[in-house]
Amino acid sequence: MKRLTQAVAAAALSTALVGAGLSGTTERADAAAGANRGRHTYTGTIGGAEYKVETPERWNGTLLIYSHPYYPAGMPEFPPGHGNRVDSEEWLLEQGYALAASDFKGRTGFVVKEAVRDQVGVLDWFEDHVGKPRRTVATGSSGGGAISLLLAEKYPHRIDGVLAMCTPIDLYGQMNLSLDINFALKTLLDAKEVELVNAKDPAASVQRLQEVMTEKVETAQGRARIALAGAFGNVTGWNSAHDPKPATIEGQARALYEIQLYGAVGVFGAVGQADLAEHAGGNPSYNVGVDYARQLAKSNQLAFVRKAYREAGLDLGKDLARLAAAPRISPDPQARQWMLRHAVPRGTTPSPVVTLHNTVDLAVPDHERWYATQVRRHGNPTDLRQLFVARATHCAFTVAEEAVALQTLLNRINTGHWPTTDPAGLNVRAAALGERWSKVFDFATGGDAVRAPGFTKYRPAPLLRSSR
Confidence band, pLDDT 50/70/90 cuts, at residue 62: very high
Spatial separation of the C-alpha atoms in residues 64 and 426, rounded to whole Å:
21
pLDDT for position 272: 97
Confidence category of residue 18, pLDDT binned at 50, 70, 90: very low
- Is residue 20's pLDDT more than 60? no
pTM > 0.85: yes
For domain 3-170+344-456, the CATH superfamily is Alpha/Beta hydrolase fold, catalytic domain (3.40.50.1820)
What angle (nearest 5°) sits at the alpha carbon of residue 69, between those of residues 63 and 73? Answer: 135
**What average pLDDT is seen over the chain?**
91
Q: Show me where the domains of the chain are located.
A: 3-170+344-456, 172-338
Asked if the model's pLDDT at residue 268 lies above 70, the reply is yes
pLDDT band (50, 70, 90) for residue 85: confident
Q: Cβ distance 169 to 370 under 8 Å?
A: yes
What's residue 14's pLDDT? 32
Q: Tell me the pLDDT tens digit for each residue of 365-374.
A: 999 999 999 9
Give 215-233 pLDDT, tens digit per residue.
999 999 999 999 999 999 9
What confidence score (pLDDT) does residue 127 get?
A: 97
Per-residue model confidence (pLDDT) at position 7: 44
Q: What is the pLDDT of residues 27-41, one digit of tens each?
A: 343 333 344 568 999
pLDDT digits 0-9 by tens, 246-259: 999 999 999 999 99
